[in-house]
Amino acid sequence: SASRRYRSGGVFALAEGLGCDEGPENPAVFIHFTRDVDRCHVCALQEGGETIALGQWFEGEWCSIRMAFDWDLRVARIRLLHDKSSDMATAAKHEEVEVPFKSSTCDGCRYLMLFNQTCDFEAQYTDIIVA
């Protein structure tokens, strides 16, 4: 079982480059699904390694992550929605979290990376919509 706080499982990253065995290069966002001893979180990693909790996820329940990017301010505005609240009216009621880009030098997103960092629990992805 996971004993370290914010221990990462599934990862979703949008990055400028692929990297070489050290994760994405210059990522705008680096979102990870974590499992602590008593809770499950969706988090965003900031430059310097600080973690911002976006909300909780629940075993067996799908969730959606909605993001809007402000390239001038270099932030992503993120909403975490659970499968019961994915419609637009309900989504507007969920708290939006403003997250600074993981890399302040990111000039664009050329790569979408989806991977699992542990076999204790694994994230599954179904639909990725870019608008």
Domain locations along the chain: 11-83+91-115
Tens digit of pLDDT for each residue in 18-64? 877 677 899 999 998 887 777 888 999 988 888 899 998 887 888 88
Euclidean distance between CA atoms 20 and 7, whole angstroms? 22
Euclidean distance between CA atoms 105 and 25, whole angstroms? 10
Q: What pLDDT score does 111 carry?
A: 92
Q: What percent of the chain has pLDDT over 90?
A: 36
Assess whether pLDDT exceeds 60 at residue 124: yes
